[in-house]
């Protein structure tokens, strides 16, 4: 593949029924460069596999249901050479469930079980596209040399190892690549977090020097305020990479936190588009270089039920290494750090209330005094760096309550005790004039 490719990633919400394949075909026909497709499991499949892992005795019924559901996307697969592979994946599901019935905590069997969802998806989508005239073929992420940074569960793709092992010759025609998993550090299958197929797509874009990544979803872009709060808005047209990372780490659950990292230095743009609605509305969110220099608030993230933990740290010879080790421990314990700031003898973390006890326990190994204050929410003003401007705007709108305001280069995080979060966000939206419809 000599011409710069376009990576098209289709999430499970875009893979609900056979009609979605027609939308995908339209997308590929209009692709601005040679298309590479990354797919998640079909809608609902991963959840069903997870439930089956807890109740392995339902294996036979599950496998039969999955076979019928997937063949609805491409009925003629049964007459294709790919059907043998399809059947082996189904047999693998039965084998994994049998192993899990005997050994409930068998990570390898569990990962093989969940990865089967993406394998089946890639098979039926590739075959369905081939029947529509595309030279499509399925590719397993681990088979083409995609390595992950972890054992069992991984946060990111291992870009260095993947660059060494990636089978670039496999990307001829229209490859349909399994998202979400790859080869872990121990040589076995490892999984990324939920939504990790986005990260698979941008990692491939960086490895193959693609011209862009398009994440096709059932939303029209990233909204300045998460629609779950009931505040009307239109999607943000452009976000810098750093702003997008801030969104992903706060309230934009449509974007995997590791999505931006692989393409950041290369300047490869990411677009979020609605699969069936983009042609009609043209609305999208483009994520690219941090080129805007004027201060403006592009959005407001809201993370409810947080705690502000302040730790007075013992004197240590190398505080930076100690802090790094603490953050790594929190990460391994799956504790979400919403924000943090440090001084030589004082560290301040904002975490979810449900993680307070575990955070205190970890910090107690290096701190002499730990205080915790609970808040209704953390508000994140994405794109703003001017604390005084923020305070003035919030005072004018009646939402400033003199709680801590923590600045980062591309966001300002404020803690609040107010419980009426939807009303508060609506007031802020009006006062700050952020992407109102």
342 found inside a domain:
yes
* pLDDT value of position 163: 97
Pair 309, 206 in one domain: no
* pLDDT value of position 194: 76
330, 362 Cβ separation under 8 angstroms: yes
Query: In the chain, which residues have pLDDT < 50?
Result: 2
Q: What domain count does the chain have?
A: 2
- Look up residue 96 and give its two tokens: 């994994």
Residues 136-152 pLDDT 10s: 999 999 999 999 999 99
Pair 305, 178 in one domain: no
Pair 345, 200 in one domain: no
* pLDDT value of position 343: 82
- Look up residue 172 and give its two tokens: 């001829």
Virtual torsion, Cα 400, 401, 406, 411, nearest 10 deg: -30
275 found inside a domain:
no
| Domain containing residue 372: CATH number | 3.30.2130.10
Pair 307, 181 in one domain: no
- Look up residue 403 and give its two tokens: 């709680």
* pLDDT value of position 394: 62
Residues 356, 221: Cα–Cα separation, whole Å: 33
- Summary count for the chain: helices (H), strands (E): 14, 18
156, 194 Cβ separation under 8 angstroms: no
290 found inside a domain:
no
Pair 207, 305 in one domain: no
120, 41 Cβ separation under 8 angstroms: yes
DSSP 324-362: HHHHHHHHHTT--EEEEEE-SSEEEEEEEGGGHHHHHHH
Domain boundary among 211, 239, 259: 259
Pair 37, 126 in one domain: yes
Q: Enter the pTM of the model.
A: 0.90
* pLDDT value of position 319: 73
Helices 45-54 & 82-102 angle (0-180, nearest 10): 30
Pair 395, 305 in one domain: yes
* pLDDT value of position 433: 61
* pLDDT value of position 297: 80
284 found inside a domain:
no
213 found inside a domain:
yes
139 found inside a domain:
yes
Output DSSP code: residue 168: G
Q: How far is CA 271 from CA 12, 33, 196, 214, 354, in A?
A: 17, 15, 16, 5, 34
* pLDDT value of position 389: 64
194 found inside a domain:
yes
CA geometry: angle 289, 145, 254, nearest 5 deg: 40
* pLDDT value of position 193: 82
Residue-number span of the structural domain to which 355 is assigned? 299-432
246 found inside a domain:
no
* Buried-state track 284-316, b at ≥16 Cβ within 10 A, e below 16: bbbbbeeeeeeeebbbbbbbeebbbbbbebeee
Pair 157, 44 in one domain: yes
| Domain containing residue 185: CATH number | 3.40.1160.10
Pair 63, 203 in one domain: yes
Sheet harboring 411-416: ordered strands across? 337-342, 346-352, 299-313, 367-382, 411-416, 405-408
């Amino acid at each position: 593949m000599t011409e710069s490719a376009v990576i098209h990633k289709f999430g499970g919400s875009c893979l609900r029924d056979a009609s979605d394949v027609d939308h995908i075909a339209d997308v590929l026909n209009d692709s601005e460069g040679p298309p590479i497709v990354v797919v998640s499991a079909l809608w609902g499949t991963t959840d069903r596999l997870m439930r089956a892992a807890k109740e392995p005795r339902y294996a036979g019924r599950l496998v039969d249901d999955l076979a019928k559901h997937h063949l609805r996307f491409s009925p003629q697969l049964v007459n294709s050479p790919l059907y043998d592979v399809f059947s082996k994946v189904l047999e693998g599901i039965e084998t994994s469930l049998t192993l899990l019935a005997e050994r409930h905590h068998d990570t390898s069997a569990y990962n093989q079980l969940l990865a089967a969802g993406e394998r089946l998806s890639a098979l039926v989508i590739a075959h369905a596209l081939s029947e529509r005239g595309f030279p499509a073929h399925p590719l397993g992420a681990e088979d083409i040399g995609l390595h992950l940074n972890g054992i069992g569960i991984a946060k990111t793709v291992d870009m260095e190892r993947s660059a060494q092992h990636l089978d670039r010759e496999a990307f001829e025609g229209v490859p349909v690549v399994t998202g979400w998993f790859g080869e872990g550090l121990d040589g076995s299958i490892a999984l990324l977090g939920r939504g990790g197929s986005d990260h698979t797509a941008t990692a491939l874009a960086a490895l193959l020097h693609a011209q862009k990544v398009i994440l096709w979803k059932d939303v029209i872009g990233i909204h300045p305020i998460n629609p779950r709060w009931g505040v009307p808005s239109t999607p943000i047209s452009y976000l810098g990479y750093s702003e997008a990372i801030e969104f992903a780490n706060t309230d934009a659950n449509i974007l995997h936190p590791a999505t931006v990292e692989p393409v950041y230095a290369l300047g490869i743009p990411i677009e979020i588009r609605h699969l069936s609605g983009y042609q009609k509305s043209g609305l999208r969110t483009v994520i690219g270089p941090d080129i805007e220099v004027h201060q403006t608030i592009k959005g407001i993230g809201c993370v409810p039920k947080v705690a502000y933990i302040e730790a007075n740290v013992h004197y240590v010879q190398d505080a930076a290494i100690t802090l790094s080790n603490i953050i790594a421990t929190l990460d391994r314990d799956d504790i979400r750090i919403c924000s943090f700031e440090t001084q030589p003898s004082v560290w301040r973390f904002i975490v979810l209330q449900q993680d307070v006890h575990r955070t205190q326990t970890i910090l107690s190994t290096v701190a002499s005094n730990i205080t915790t204050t609970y808040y209704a929410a953390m508000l994140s003003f994405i794109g703003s760096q001017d604390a005084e401007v923020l305070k003035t705007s919030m005072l004018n709108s009646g939402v400033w309550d003199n709680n801590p305001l923590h600045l980062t280069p591309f966001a300002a995080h404020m803690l609040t005790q107010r419980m009426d979060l939807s009303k508060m966000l609506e007031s802020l939206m009006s006062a700050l004039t952020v992407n109102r419809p």
